[in-house]
Amino acid sequence: MGIKRYKPTTPSLRYKTSLDYSKLSKKKPEKSLTAPLTGSGGRNNKGRITVRHRGGRNKRRYRIIDFKRDKTGIPARVAAIEYDPNRSAFIALLHYTDGEKRYIIAPESLKVGDRVISGANAEFKVGNALPIELIPVGTRIHNIELKQGKGAQIARSAGSYATIIGREEKYILIQLPSSELRKVPNSCYATIGQVSNVDHKNIVFGKAGARRHLGIRPSVRGVAMNPVDHPHGGGEGKVKGYKASTNYTGRVVKGQKTRRKKSSDKLIIRRRNAEK
């Protein structure tokens, strides 16, 4: 999927780039696999803003994605590669031989008409889902489960993948693009290949309005606020450097560890921020 550039007929178009969607299937989403999706504008059930800088996006419907790939042993044909407004990756519509239809995250190089299947007896091919213990070392994988049957949780965004680098008795050692080394139970499922839409990271929006369409509202610097609004606010002129960098609730940022202890911490061999 290539990058499309524009003639600078307006200031915002001078640097704007977008994806060339010409290779995507020209069809409406499968109605039976969509669901209503309402926006909260970052507000909770009391109407109070709990997540700032959200609201005012384009209307969209949710595409129900099969992250479990639990329809094993039944081959499916890729009927379409579609755009999904809810995620950075493209999605693929599968038509199974028994008549069922499902959406999956589309891997890179998957094309309309290809055949995919999931299960322990699946062929080693892009788009097929297998237990991670059956995938050779050095293979790029995505849609990785952390708990058997729960569904994919790792490597689901555009262009992401993990690499299998070793095996143990009950675990498989994988390396994520962040350089984190992690153990995954060998019975968990993963899909072979890299997630589609690799050029997503190269998009330049060009103007603030393009971000507003995605539901991202403007953000204001803390030093431009009053003391009542932010710990960085107030002062005569520009004042900086005499207080620690914090967010608007007063929590110290830029270096402080914020990850809570989890039961899965024991499966992390090397954190992403460890010295290399």
pLDDT tens profile 79-91:
999 999 999 999 9
Euclidean distance between CA atoms 8 and 45, whole angstroms: 45
Q: Which residue has the higher pLDDT, 155 or 273?
A: 155
pLDDT of residue 262: 85
Q: Is the dihedral of CA 50, 52, 58, 62 positive or negative?
A: negative
CATH number among 1.10.8.100, 3.90.870.40, 2.30.40.10, 4.10.950.10, domain 222-276 = 4.10.950.10
Euclidean distance between CA atoms 215 and 233, whole angstroms: 26
Residue 273: pLDDT band with limits 50, 70, 90:
confident
pLDDT of residue 274: 66
Residue 240 pLDDT greater than 70, yes or no: no
How do residues 158-216 score in pLDDT, each as one tens digit?
999 999 999 998 999 999 988 999 999 999 999 999 999 999 999 999 999 999 999 99
Residues above pLDDT 70, as percent of the chain? 97
Q: Is the dihedral of CA 122, 127, 131, 136 positive or negative?
A: positive
Helices (H) and strands (E) in the chain, counts: 1, 17
pLDDT of residue 132: 95
What would the CATH number be for the domain defined by 3-201?
2.40.50.140
Helix, strand, coil percentages in the chain from 3-state DSSP, rounded to 5 = 10, 30, 60
How do residues 247-261 score in pLDDT, each as one tens digit?
888 888 887 777 788
**Contact yes or no for 229/249 (Cβ under 8 A):** no
Q: Please state the rounded mean pLDDT for residues 10-20.
A: 94
pLDDT of residue 249: 87
Residue 1: pLDDT band with limits 50, 70, 90:
low
How do residues 32-51 score in pLDDT, each as one tens digit?
999 999 999 999 999 999 99
pLDDT of residue 247: 86
- Beta strands (DSSP E) in the chain are 3-5, 17-19, 34-36, 61-63, 76-82, 91-96, 101-105, 115-116, 129-131, 140-142, 144-145, 152-154, 162-167, 171-175, 181-185, 189-192, 268-270
Q: Please state the rounded mean pLDDT for residues 139-166.
A: 95
pLDDT of residue 106: 97
Residue 103: pLDDT band with limits 50, 70, 90:
very high
pLDDT of residue 275: 56
Average pLDDT, the chain: 92
SS3 state at 32: helix
pLDDT of residue 182: 94
Domain ranges of the chain: 3-201, 222-276
pLDDT of residue 241: 59
